[in-house]
Amino acid sequence: KAGVTQTPRYLIKTRGQQVTLSCSPISGHRSVSWYQQTPGQGLQFLFEYFSETQRNKGNFPGRFSGRQFSNSRSEMNVSTLELGDSALYLCASSLDPGTTHQETQYFGPGTRLLVL
């Protein structure tokens, strides 16, 4: 099976711009979660989607949003970019939320975003 794929892998934006990142989960996985990883804050949960619905949300401002499509692919959007948004954005997929399968998260390679 192909793993989790994320596009683009690298991105450079300037403050005030917006960005959309894409994630394709492992075939058959219906849950997709997004994380932000920075040296200072570590790995932080952004949100989780299942069946095109946001199930869980972390403590990030409303500038961070996401969605999931019927084929389980997911996108996340960050509007009005700030310098502090520079990070590695990781997507992870899992089988079914609310079960122990949820705990086995399969991560994609990430999108490295640099905001100038």
Partner 1 sequence: GQSLEQPSEVTAVEGAIVQINCTYQTSGFYGLSWYQQHDGGAPTFLSYNALDGLEETGRFSSFLSRSDSYGYLLLQELQMKDSASYFCAVRAINNAGNMLTFGGGTRLMVKP
Q: Which stretch binds partner 1 (CB under 8 A): 7-15, 18-26, 55-63, 73-81?
A: 55-63
Is the Cβ of residue 92 or residue 115 nearer to partner 1 in the bound state? 92
The residues facing 62 across adjacent strands are none
End-to-end CA distance of the chain: 37
Least separation, in Å, of the C-beta of 96 and partner 1? 14
Choice from 23, 76, 87, 90 touching partner 1 (CB under 8 A): 90
Cβ contacts of 47-51, under 8 Å, gap ≥ 24: 47/76, 48/97, 49/74, 50/97
Q: How far, in Å, CA of 95 to CA of 7, rounded?
A: 21
User: Any idea what the Cα angle at residue 14 is, between residues 79 and 36, rounded to 5°?
Assistant: 55
Q: Is 55 in the site for partner 1 (CB under 8 A)?
A: yes
96 to 115: interface string for partner 1, x by CB under 8 A: ----x-xxxxxxxxx-----
The residue ranges that bind partner 1 (CB under 8 A) are 4, 33, 35, 42-45, 48, 55-59, 90, 92, 100, 102-110
